[in-house]
Structure 1
Amino acid sequence: MGQVVQKQELAVGEVTVMSELAYDANPSLGYTVYLEEAGALIPYLVLTDDYNDSGNTLLLRKHTMDEVRRYHPIEAGATSYYNGCEIDTWLSTEFVSMLSGLNIETSSINITVENTYGASPHRGETEYIDREVFLLSRGEVFTVKQ
């Protein structure tokens, strides 16, 4: 069974759900939890208790993984499309299986095509995908919430 461990000791009954540890909900509690990944406890930052207004708690793995994963093979005509790319497939299958025993809610993620290489009929289009585990977009990583 998966295991979630809080970074600091809290009084029994003080925290009942992980979203109460979110940095934007209660920064005084700290915001690191440890999830069991393939038998090892790995630190995750609890970023928000309401990702994309879904009510889902967003966790970010504190450290990058040692192994390198590619987005797509480098070849002529390779796309930068996320849905179904190699890293998306790996996250949704192998990585999520390392978190077995945890109840991971599926989030609906909207992907809007803003920049493309060359002319593209898809610029400005939005697609919605459902994922348990996903990479944050560049905009999500570098945008500061006001």
Structure 2
Amino acid sequence: MPARPFDKLLGQQFVKVTLLLLCVGCGGGNDTTVPVSGTITLQNGEPLPSATIMFRGTDGKTFTGGADGSGAYVARASEDSRGIAPGEYIVVVQESIGDDLDKPSRPKIHPRYGQVRTSDLKTTVSAEQPTYDFTLDPPGNTHRK
């Protein structure tokens, strides 16, 4: 039974869409990354240990890192990557709630830093400046930078 004209047209459209999607997926992209590190401290100069830091790009890509006991962090796309892509970022910092879930520790930083929509931490990542230190306000401090 010969193919109907509509079926043939539908098959051709499917092939075109599939090829288009394959070509989009084969784009070169920007593989350049910058090793990004720094220190997260409180306004009083103390380090913020065990915090999670997230760099959210204007393109929606997210790069994360975790602070050690001295507040030092390294941010990257994954364990295998060497850094993050250059560009504009909103920075989000979330502090650890502690090990004892029955007695969570008191917050040390203002809650605005914990969400993309409320964080006022912004930075431009570039190869010229691989270190990004952040000093955070305590809870209750309404001072915005």
Q: Which band: TM-score by shorter chain?
A: under 0.3
Which has more radius of gyration?
2
> Per chain length, whose mean CA-contact separation is higher, i.e. which structure has more relative contact order (CA < 8 Å, sep 6+)?
2
Q: TM-score, normalised by structure 2?
A: 0.27
